[in-house]
Amino acid sequence: MLSVEALEWLDGLQPAMWMIPAGIVVALLGVWMVVAAVLRSPRRTLPLRADTRVQAARGAVEVLTKDTAVQHPGVVKAEATARRKSVVVRVWTDGDPAVADEIRGWVDERLRRLADAHDVRIVVRTVAAKP
């Protein structure tokens, strides 16, 4: 029986080297659980300016932001991540240096209905031109 084998293994156990890495892993897992239990749950929706309770899921904010970014003629591909207080837009461009500022303005305008101010961060990567 498993319980008997486990107890027999425990009986007479002495300090061993494997206890250092195993102890660290177990303690880190415990710290993670304590932090998860104490911290507030992440907010999955962002409030909109409205008299009634209208909220936008992070996914909705992300698709609107991504759609805004790909409208720019200099953007090849775009991805967006919405957080509680910020929106991060990753864009792959053909090298147009004005892309970041223009997209930031467009996204700000598109998301102006969000109740809380949002910091729009643009991460630009240039796609190498094909020979």
Partner 1 sequence: MSWAAAAAERIAVLVVGLVLVALGAAAAAWQQGWLPDVADRLDVQTAVEWTGESWWPWAVGGAGVVLVILGLLWVAAHARLRTVGRMRLDGSGRSGRLTVDGSALMSPVVLDLEATPGVRDASGRVLSERKESVIELRVKVDPGADLDEVADATERASVQLGRLLRADPASDAGVTFRAVLTGGGSRSKMSRVR
Instruction: Write out the residues near partner 1 by the rule CB under 8 A.
Output: 1, 3-4, 7-8, 10-17, 19-20, 22-38, 45, 48-57, 59-64, 66-67, 110-113
The minimum distance between CB 52 and partner 1, in angstroms, equals 4
Query: Interhelix angle for 99-110 vs 58-70, to 10°?
Result: 140
Query: What 8-state DSSP symbol labels residue 67?
Result: H
Find the shortest distance in angstroms from Cβ 99 to partner 1.
Answer: 17
Q: How far is the CB of 131 from partner 1 (least distance, A)?
A: 29
* Closest residue by Cα to residue 80 from 72, 70, 99: 70
SS3 for 115?
Answer: coil
70 vs 100, beta carbon nearer partner 1: 70
81 or 126: whose CB is closer to partner 1? 81
CB 87 within 8 A of CB 117: no
Q: How far is the CB of 69 from partner 1 (least distance, A)?
A: 11
Token pair belonging to 112: 């102006």
* Tokens, residue 89: 């837009």
